[in-house]
Structure 1
Amino acid sequence: MPSTESRFSAEQRRALIDLARASIRHGLDHGRPLPVDPQSFDPDLREPGAAFVTLHRDAALRGCIGSLEPRQPLVEEISHNAYAAAFRDPRFPPLTRGEYPDLEVSISVLGPSEPLEFSHEADLLRQLRPGIDGLILEADGRRGTFLPTVWASLPEPADFLAELKRKAGLPPDYWSDRLRISRYTTESFG
């Protein structure tokens, strides 16, 4: 679910979606992400940004790759992550030309993350905001994240947290004083 405040105009959103699709098309033709000249984009899209690109085909997940911290201009991030979602997501085989026309592309641009303070799991669960929070879980050298859109399939905070633990390679009932959870919001469009 997107944040209530929109950081990007409709034109900027369209430019990012078009860029993601162009990078996937470039990957089909050349086997690498589309090279991007940040200077040819709106100044807001040249700012460093963290983002995920999610691909669906026939309403089923087909790839999702992103970053949690801004490391490069947002337009470069989108080009790289769109290519990676199509061709490097280890859960799926590389995208084929035949799949491209039916591909649905969405983008989630992450806001800054904030660590949550909690003393036990019930305390943590009370702080979660279903449909709003994306979570980053870190424990015992493992890390996982769920975007806020995952709340649509896991609307109960306890289920959301248990599946996030599983995604990070931990048992769903895992608990430790070393468990760290941060939350973030996204602006999602596609």
Structure 2
Amino acid sequence: MSGHTQHLPDNAGDWLLPLARTAIAGVLGADPGPRGEVPTPVPEWMESQGATFVTLTQNGHLRGCIGSLLAHRALVDDLRYNAVASATQDYRFPTLTADELARTDIEVSVLSAPTPIEFSTRAELEEQLRPGVDGLILTVELRRATFLPQVWEQLPKPALFIDQLLAKAGVSPDRVDWASDRVTAKRYTVTDWAE
């Protein structure tokens, strides 16, 4: 297995999306349909390490989203695992049913390696964020949450983005000591493909 997936071909979605759909269909006992047809052969870059998030939507509404923040296995394996997990293990939603799969759209995001952001106040953190570009991993004490860059579409202002990310982590914004070394932030970017 070679190193991290750096540059994926522009048409990577031609493999990533049908592979995700086929993995979910296999677990649900569903027909993957025409969107599940995977071109062959599977390219070599799929064997390099990669971190993926798989997002499921129905009529534009979230139906499941699970992923990896760090590359720790082959991209193809990470993709299959997270595709199945997003359909069956997202605690916010009931398990996807075989009947639902045909009307579920899949989006695959491949993440860059996260890099730390230095800050000592919330304002400093907000100033450094790049709306629409940065995904953010926020850790407060023992709680951690992330938003993919796509979330900026719903939360375009850094203050709102951070408030909602803290809520996702179960942390009250007025209880955060931003100067503490127990509050950390890392940014990453994604390359994404959607059906």
What is the TM-score with the length of structure 1 in the denominator? 0.89
Structure 1 position 8, deviation (Å) = 2.5
DSSP-derived class of the 1:182 partner: strand
Superposed CA RMSD:
1.4
Q: Is the 8 A contact 1:133 1:183 kept in 2?
A: yes
CA offset digits 1:90-119 (Å, max 9, x no partner):
111011122111110001100011100011
Which of the pair has the greater relative contact order for Cα pairs under 8 Å at 6+ separation?
A: 1
DSSP-derived class of the 2:29 partner: helix
CA offset digits 1:134-178 (Å, max 9, x no partner):
000111111000000000000000000011111111013332212
Mark the runs of 5 or more structure 1 residues left unpaired by the alignment.
Answer: 1-5, 31-39
Structure 1 position 10, deviation (Å) = 4.3
Q: Is the 8 A contact 1:163 1:172 kept in 2?
A: no
1:179 alignment partner AA: V
2:84 alignment partner AA: Y
Does 2:186 correspond to 1:182? Answer: yes
Structure 1 position 189, deviation (Å) = 0.8
Identity rate, percent: 43
User: Match for residue 169 of structure 1?
Assistant: 170
Q: Is the 8 A contact 1:133 1:147 kept in 2?
A: yes
Mark the runs of 5 or more structure 2 residues left unpaired by the alignment.
Answer: 1-5, 31-40
Cα distance in 2, alignment partners of residues 117 and 55 from structure 1: 33
User: Match for residue 8 of structure 1?
Assistant: 8
Cα distance in 2, alignment partners of residues 12 and 180 from structure 1: 32
DSSP-derived class of the 1:75 partner: helix
Cα distance in 2, alignment partners of residues 17 and 152 from structure 1: 22
User: Match for residue 51 of structure 2?
Assistant: 50
User: Match for residue 134 of structure 1?
Assistant: 135
Q: Is the 8 A contact 2:136 2:146 kept in 1?
A: yes
Structure 1 position 9, deviation (Å) = 2.5
